[in-house]
Chain A
């Protein structure tokens, strides 16, 4: 039953992606900002402009352009970037690992901070620490990730210049580090200096992305923990004489985690969306930074491919969370959805 459910979800992803592709394709062509208008040379004649339009395939109707794009996309050809003059999938393959590593580290930080804050706040309910955490969470959540980015640039870049605030890795190590999943591959190969540099450059952008998510996780986890702590099975565990910490972590937490995990998945998708501005602020060479350049330069093939990549990521994250929730909740295993 579960296998059939996931197969159905996978099949549903196809029309979803088609819909995203179609909507994005049409939208970026009808909104103001013609890419050809941005590169018309000073002395261009109407013939020159027509030649440029034809050069980039923009001389055809939008349905025809979409049909040609779709035909090529089905064969794995997503076009050439107008700005970068490279295959858009090569560009995405270069930048996606950067964003994924940043996003995953930020999410881990968010889970750790949010989880710890949620548990402590629930355990100390009614005391000053709980009130402090609640208020801090409200403030932290109210400040968007890009604003955290600016705060960290001022704080850790200028006032207390402890952290690097631009780039992915120390330029002295970049050649040795190579591209792709630098953190993962350096961990696997024991290149600790590169791991250290990569993590150091990641601290400020990852924290900027993580803090609002952490605050949300803390609040949801606290609420579900309180519910769990008030339930009969937890009372029973206490009556059995289990220690307060054990009751909290072994009895209440597993059940309280389910809503927090579901929320984290949604938040992870949003967090990846947040990389667009945060990567730009920190000159982090990921997909988000590329997305900004594509939009500013009206690079239609690149915008299309970047949005589709984010859509695939969102679908994949949601599927992964469904699996995780299934694993955490025995009642769902083997049942229909």
Chain B
């Protein structure tokens, strides 16, 4: 140990502070052009992308996707493409699946990715004991076998979205031999994937450092080194990028996005698979279709998205947004305040005889969630609606929704990164689902046969019909599709991804 010298300490500390202070603002820019520094909006709790709450957190998936390859990958337009699997599909009667594993792919420790790894990852994902939150999907296959570079399995229960899930939550392939050798704790300390970047350093709650994997099977990333800082506060993220300490950041308020892009920063503000909606619970006064329709017709979504959201969202009328497979542009819920008022009058409600009910919303969980609901309450007021707006935490929303105890109207955001109707309209509107608020037999009878529908065209047409039925009877109020803001310094280019991924491997020099 070196002796502590008081004079030396003061001199060195002073000099270090002065030096770091002087160069602080230029930190990200001053780093070699091979380093990309990102201020990211979430922390990474665990490195196993297949267990725990972080495995189902859509925002964290970008971090996982930088390190781990998936069964299949997703294009920015939400279509799917090969990743570690080059081919996948069902047999003719859809009783078996067959997967072809990419040859020549390697793990970060240099060992080859094998069909054994794929089979083991699927088995592990389907085992309830591992705590995989998407086990309900992976458990639908059994008798998984690996032979050569092929993997086959029997289908226990057909699910049309099975392969789409392979490109989304928990659809990651982990290294069997390495995981079994180092165990859960060892994997957390030194995660090994087969994605474009290797983990060099990870400081929980602070940052991670990634290094490009030279044997990556896909396109070589532009940046050799990536530093991802976990900056969960939006003001701090804006300051990070504005001061030049980070090269890019995500999810900042639209006003800040406009200010920074006017100042010369690059940026994208593009739609993602996340929508704002109002859940309607099948309790009074929502059992009256005239009331539901009046509420839906009186919302000026254009004004909400253009004035309040300042272009950071676009209006929608179904839970399937543009780009989703079952999106049908012909389904419209009109903005018609006159008709809305007439319907309310017909239902017996007016300013003199106001309709009172509770409305719930989060505040600050999504951009302008509370302000949107306040504006909507203002639009409902001329109908004679005197709603009591309750602000709750998102955790309470989940609990109430699972217990079917949400208020008659409750604001929420719904993500569907795979763009499949089963994960939007299906889970949000099917009565037996713990996530639905409207639970009625008529709708359930329409959705139930679609879960196992083997004819894809018939299934998509079926969901479009369901969406039309929902819109005609106002069983839910879809409001808008969110946009995602990404800001980066001059000289960078990052193409927006429809599923909301902000991937370091997709950032390039302009």
Contact = CB atoms under 8 A, between A and B. Distances in A.
Interface core residue of A55, A162, A179 (most chain B CB under 10 Å): A162
A167 B206 CA distance: 5
Given A158-B242, A167-B206, A34 B423 contact: no
B235 A153 contact: yes
A161 interface: yes
Contacts of A164: 20, 24, 27, 245
A36 to B, nearest CB: 8
A298 interface: yes
A303 B339 CA distance: 51
A161 B24 CA distance: 8
Interface residues of A, number: 67
Contact of A195 (B13, B204, B398, B399): B13
Interface stretch (B45-53, B287-295, B437-445, B489-497): B45-53
A42 interface: yes
A235 B135 CA distance: 81
B247 interface: no
A289 interface: yes
A41 B56 contact: yes
Interface string B427-459: 100001111000000000000000000000000
A125 interface: no
Interface string B1-29: 11111001100111111011100110100
A89 to B, nearest CB: 14
Interface core residue of A48, A167, A175, A189 (most chain B CB under 10 Å): A167
Contacts of B336: none
Contact-residue bracket for chain B: 35 or more
Interface stretch (A129-137, A196-204, A224-232, A312-320): A196-204
A200 B131 CA distance: 42
B229 A197 contact: no
Contact of A85 (B15, B188, B245, B393): B188
Interface string A195-239: 111011000000000000000000000000000000000000000
Nearest to A298: B395
B392 A32 contact: yes
Contacts of B24: 161-164, 200
A283 interface: yes
Contacts of B274: none
Given A32-B395, A34-B398, A42 B427 contact: yes
A192 B7 CA distance: 12
11 contacts: A41-B56, A42-B423, A44-B433, A82-B53, A158-B238, A158-B239, A162-B24, A195-B9, A196-B16, A281-B236, A283-B233
Interface of A: 32-35, 37-46, 48-49, 51, 55, 81-86, 94-95, 150, 153-154, 157-158, 161-168, 170-171, 174-175, 179, 187-190, 192-193, 195-197, 199-200, 280-283, 285-286, 289-290, 293, 296-298
